[in-house]
């Protein structure tokens, strides 16, 4: 028996409030938000599957703009369409906008305050844990065969050997290599075995 979804307006409001909460509690960029998005959309509401979160993360990283906003909007779109995506985007951006306005007004006092600096150091440490959780989940969902493992290792080596290399080249290169491996080499190999 499937659980009945609340009315559309209520779902949109829930998506907006969830995105607002994500924007308030998530520090450290887009990948740090992925576990929070997964909790909200998969665990709490059940509107998006965990496999879909992996796909959403990959697409969000490939699109221009902030990964956090992209991922939030894509998850909301998958959950409930275009209006939900807009609500998620607005909800995700509002906390950052408000905090930036406050920081801009009181920047001098913030930057020299030892308590604020200590809090930011603590937040930075917690963000590392969120990155590691995202990495482990993406490894489980994304590395599905020997070819994806090879692509992962090659991309990691490129990032460490050439730290100034723009990630867009790695993403585009991974897309091209993935296309060549999966749709040209492997398909052609299967077709030739089927003909024989």
pLDDT in tens, 55-101: 888 788 777 778 888 888 888 898 888 999 999 999 988 988 888 88
pTM (2 decimals)?
A: 0.58
Q: Is the pLDDT of residue 140 over 70?
A: yes
Q: Is the pLDDT of residue 33 over 80?
A: no
CA 122, 125, 130, 131 dihedral sign is positive
Residue 10 CB: number of other CB atoms within 10 A? 10
- H/E element, 187: helix 186-195
Per-residue pLDDT tens for 142-172? 777 888 888 888 888 888 898 888 888 888 8
Own/partner contacts of 174-183, CB < 8 Å, gap of 24 or more, are 175/62, 177/151, 178/147, 178/151, 181/147, 182/147
């Amino acid at each position: 028996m499937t659980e009945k979804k609340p009315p559309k307006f209520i779902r949109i409001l829930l998506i907006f409030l969830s995105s607002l909460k994500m924007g308030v509690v998530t520090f450290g960029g887009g990948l740090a938000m992925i576990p929070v998005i997964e909790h909200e959309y998969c665990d709490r509401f059940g509107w998006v599957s965990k496999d879909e979160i992996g796909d959403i993360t990959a697409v969000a990283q490939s699109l221009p703009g902030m990964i956090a906003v992209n991922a939030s909007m894509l998850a909301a779109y998958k959950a409930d369409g275009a209006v939900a995506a807009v609500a998620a985007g607005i909800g995700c951006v509002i906390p950052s906008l408000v905090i930036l306005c406050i920081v801009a007004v009181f920047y001098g006092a913030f930057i020299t305050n030892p308590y604020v600096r200590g809090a930011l150091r603590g937040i930075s440490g917690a963000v590392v844990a969120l990155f590691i959780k995202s990495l482990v989940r993406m490894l489980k969902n994304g590395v599905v065969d020997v070819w994806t493992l090879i692509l992962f290792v090659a991309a990691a080596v490129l990032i460490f050997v050439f730290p100034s290399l723009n990630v867009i080249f790695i993403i585009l290169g991974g897309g091209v290599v993935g296309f060549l491996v999966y749709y040209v080499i492997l398909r052609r190999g299967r077709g030739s075995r089927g003909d024989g």
